Amino acid sequence: MRVITKEQQDAAGKYAMKGFAIGAAQWACVGVFATAAASVAFPGFKKTPIQNKFYIVMAMALGGGAHLSDRYMVQFERRGRANMLDETTRQRYNLIYGDEEERKKAQEALKQQATA
């Protein structure tokens, strides 16, 4: 498991909640449309109490919110890994092609790691 800071943890939580809100809104609209269409198309569904219809819409909204929240969290983790790889690549590039001061700093850091 990767060690993360409190700020990174908060940013990931906010991004996941954004995904939940968007997914819940999208799927709640789908649920309202589906229950309205079912009320028109099926006479038996028209007799269903409003509480049950609301439960159907609520279940779709919660399911859609959970699904999109998970997708947003995966995207956040992938973006974090990509940034970490980019930073490592930049450091390696500077080590090979950087100026003399950067090479000396890198060599000193390598010596310290080798002795530790």
What does the pLDDT average to over 98-116? 75
pLDDT of residue 72: 93
* Residue 105, token pair as written in the block: 């700093």
- Burial-class residue 63 by CB neighbours within 10 Å (0-12, 13-18, 19+): middle
Q: How far is CA 106 from CA 23, 72, 111, 114, in A?
A: 47, 37, 9, 12
pLDDT tens figures, 48-60: 999 999 999 999 9
Which residue type, as a one-letter code, is found at position 113? Q
Domain positions in the chain are 6-115
Q: Has this prediction a pTM greater than 0.75?
A: no
